[in-house]
């Protein structure tokens, strides 16, 4: 690469950072000199979270002990934190409950969707329920495993298909459709409004996995009439390793939401200890067992970094960052060394860039050694996640430059 070209791009990065309205957010995270582009796997630590956790452990657990379930608000944490996540995914309060893992919530949502689809069809037309589940064939493996298990449990046939081909397989037998908002390998963004409308036109219900979009771009769950959605909180929401996931149940569906995992926490009278189950009202039906309080409250504290932040501003910076990174890669990396798998069109791009190259696993190992952290997906994909709250344009330029030097 020429020094002149490098100087020009560094100067452009500096200028872009100087105009960045989200730049001040970077100081709210525990960062070092590393270029951290793996927030699409694990978000960086918000700097104030350790102090909050220390308070929880020493005072709430250490001194108040059992009293903290009421006095410190532990009992209501799942729905309280759900209401804090709600505006980040375009949902009104009272529709999101936090708890369990993404996988468990996918299972709850998908089985409940099949049950509701069958109930609705029988109620209207008096015919047998639907017996097909459509699943994103490119999905993260666990979603596929869960869908297969849900199909066996409900007596459905599983139909794996690429998201763009979903409308062509929908019909009178479709009960539920499980889709990813963004492809975890390539960063391709799928058409949530259009596919949701197509599923509804077929009389089925849709479950969206938001793991790779919540906190990176507007989702619009309420606006687009999404039935059910799930997502993790340890990526763009920065909740910490293994932080609890969330489940969204559209308000109109909540009276009919029949969870396959009823637990004492989702009972209408949890401390009544009755042998017969009676579901609680609202999104609380998505709860199962005792909440994992330490990670739950770490997540709640982590969400403070979103105070005063517009998701539209986050999306604008995300697109600007990925555009700039791709331009730097094009300027620095010799032609033919890498191939971008991430769509160029903004409407089809999430908040990561996936590059295919020979020996990608070894390339990523050497990048990490040089202070540029992304991740590798077999067999040949380098993934770089751009978290707008703390990634700078200077980070993007440096990552592309070090990538070129590593490949060279």
Q: For residues 355 and 382, is the Cβ–Cβ distance under 8 A?
A: yes
Q: For residues 355 and 47, is the Cβ–Cβ distance under 8 A?
A: no
The DSSP element (H or E) to which 228 belongs, if any, is: strand 228-231
Q: Which of 29, 36, 107, 234 is catalytic?
A: 234
Catalytic residue at 209? yes
Q: Which of 29, 36, 140, 393 is catalytic?
A: 140
Q: What share of the chain is helix, strand, coil (3-state, %, to 5)?
A: 45, 15, 40
- Longest C-alpha distance within the chain, in Å? 75
Catalytic residue at 8? no
Angle between helices 393-407 and 360-369 (to 10 degrees): 120
> Other C-beta atoms within 10 Å of 53: how many?
16
- Which residues lie closer than 8 Å to 150 by C-beta, 6 or more apart? 107, 110, 111, 114, 133, 156
- Which residues lie closer than 8 Å to 5 by C-beta, 6 or more apart? 331, 332
Written as six digits, the tokens of 405 are: 């030097």
Written as six digits, the tokens of 145 are: 């495993």
Catalytic residue at 17? no
As a residue count, the chain comes to: 408
Selection from 100, 116, 211, 103 nearest residue 149 by Cα: 103
Instruction: Please give the Cα distance from 236 to 213 (Å, whole number).
Output: 8
Give me the sign of the Cα torsion angle 118, 121, 122, 126. negative
* Residue 23 phi, psi dihedral angles, 5° rounding: -60, -35
Selection from 263, 188, 200 nearest residue 228 by Cα: 200
Catalytic residue at 27? no
Selection from 136, 90, 80 nearest residue 287 by Cα: 80
Instruction: Please give the Cα distance from 352 to 209 (Å, whole number).
Output: 16
DSSP for 126-142 reads: --PPP-EEEEETTS-HH
Catalytic residue at 140? yes
Q: Which of 84, 121, 235, 398 is catalytic?
A: 235
Q: Which of 25, 383, 398, 401 is catalytic?
A: 383
Give the chain's count of helices (H) and strands (E). 12, 13
Instruction: Please give the Cα distance from 79 to 82 (Å, whole number).
Output: 5
Selection from 216, 232, 187 nearest residue 381 by Cα: 187
Which sequence positions are flagged as catalytic?
A: 140, 209, 234-235, 383
């Amino acid at each position: 690469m020429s020094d002149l070209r490098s100087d020009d791009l560094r100067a452009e990065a500096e200028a872009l950072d100087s105009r960045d309205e989200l730049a001040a957010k970077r100081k709210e995270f525990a960062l070092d000199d590393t270029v951290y582009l793996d927030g699409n796997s694990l978000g960086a630590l918000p700097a104030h979270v350790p102090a909050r956790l220390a308070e929880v452990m020493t005072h709430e657990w250490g001194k108040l002990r059992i009293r903290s379930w009421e006095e410190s608000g532990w009992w209501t944490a799942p729905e309280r934190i759900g209401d804090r996540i709600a505006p980040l995914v375009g949902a009104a309060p009272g529709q999101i409950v936090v708890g369990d893992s993404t996988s468990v919530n996918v299972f709850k949502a998908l089985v409940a969707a099949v049950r509701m689809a069958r109930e609705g069809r029988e109620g209207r037309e008096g015919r047998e329920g639907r017996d097909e589940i459509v699943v994103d064939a490119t999905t993260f493996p666990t979603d596929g495993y869960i869908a297969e298990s849900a199909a066996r449990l409900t007596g459905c046939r599983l139909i794996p298909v690429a998201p763009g081909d979903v409308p062509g397989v929908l019909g009178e037998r479709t009960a539920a459709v499980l889709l990813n908002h963004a492809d975890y390998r390539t960063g391709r963004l799928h058409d949530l409004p259009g596919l949701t409308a197509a599923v509804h036109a077929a009389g089925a219900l849709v479950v969206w996995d938001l793991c790779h979009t919540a906190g990176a771009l507007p989702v619009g769950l309420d606006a687009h009439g999404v039935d059910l959605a799930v997502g993790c909180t340890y990526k763009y929401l920065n909740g910490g390793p293994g932080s609890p996931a969330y489940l969204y149940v559209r308000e109109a569906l909540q009276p009919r939401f029949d969870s396959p995992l009823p637990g004492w926490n989702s009972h209408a009278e949890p401390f009544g200890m009755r042998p017969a189950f009676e579901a609680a009202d609202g999104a609380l039906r998505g709860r199962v067992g005792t909440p994992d309080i330490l990670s739950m409250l770490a997540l709640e504290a982590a969400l403070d970094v979103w105070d005063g932040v517009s998701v539209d501003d986050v999306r604008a910076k995300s697109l600007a960052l990925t555009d700039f990174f791709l331009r730097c890669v094009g300027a620095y990396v010799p032609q033919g060394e890498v191939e971008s798998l991430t769509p160029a069109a903004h409407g089809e791009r999430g908040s990561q860039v996936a590059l295919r190259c020979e020996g990608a696993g070894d390339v990523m190992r050497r990048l990490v050694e040089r202070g540029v952290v992304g991740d590798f997906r077999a067999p040949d994909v380098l993934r770089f996640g751009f978290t707008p709250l703390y990634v700078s344009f200077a980070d993007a330029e440096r990552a592309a430059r070090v990538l070129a030097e590593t490949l060279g």
